[in-house]
Amino acid sequence: MNPDSDGALAEADLARVCDLLYRQTGILVPGNRRAFVERRVLERMRATGTDALPAYLARLRADRDGEVQLFVNAFTVNETYFNREEHQLHCLTGSLLGAVTAGRTLGDPIRIWSMPCATGEEPYSLAIWLLEHWPAVDDWEIEIVGSDIDTRALAAAQAGRYGTRALGRLPPATVARYFTREEGTAGGPTWRILPELRGSVRFSRRNLVDGAGMAQEGRFDIVFCRNVLIYFDDASRKIAAANLFSALRPGGFLCLGHTESMARIPSRFRTHRFPEAVVYQRPEDAHA
């Protein structure tokens, strides 16, 4: 049950770890990611001073010192950048917001959810894009929420500091308008989101396969859920799709990553092909 002499985990031990990760997050680890799983588990064992996997699994079951969350954090993928999948941002201001606000009273709330939000680039991109590209931005009460299962990523999002690579797709004038440059960090200069813009986005810990937790956020007009369903099996996708459906107001829209779709998932969503992007809509007459 201990790691082998070369540091590898036995097959049965690896299966236990993958099962625990799946039950906690809905993420199914493919067989070709074995080395990734081993590396992350052994890192957590070293961090907790645990020599044997059974002892580490016992620590997880007892959730001593919040180890379950730290275990989950070790497996999340937070690689992203500002203005990712920009065609959806064009769709947001070119099509979706017009549909959402039709028939509403000026000043009504418009709620947008970035789930998962990773280290914050996506929800901050949404805020900046609205300020730069939607003339009606001041006519509505806009709430942007960023949620993720990874508490480490959420802490980075709230801090709002980013390196050159993350800002690579932003025009220099936009960077100058919404960021301040900070010098002297180990990895070179960083840029920090201005305080007033950081304050315009609220962050929370949520899990896509935890319907009760997601329901605590209320309902949204538009949800961006990109590049996470690709890590789920069909069973987890069905749960996530149902939770996302419930998170939308009737008539609300869901934007997925460009490699994702509702294919193979029995879905109550309607597919809309706008000029800028394909999105999914909760029908106006749909019940929870």
Which residues form the catalytic set?
Answer: 40, 148
The residues facing 205 across adjacent strands are: 148
Task: Look up residue 40 and give its DSSP letter.
Answer: H
Cα→Cα distances 207→126, 147, 216, Å: 21, 8, 11
Q: Contact at 8 Å (CB) between 278 and 272?
A: yes
Asked, as a colleague might, if the bond just before 54 is cis with ω within 30 of 0, I would say no
Cα–Cα nearest to 26, from 236, 234, 207: 236
Cα→Cα distances 226→23, 84, 91, Å: 21, 10, 15
Q: Are strands 109-114 and 141-148 parallel, antiparallel or unpaired?
A: parallel
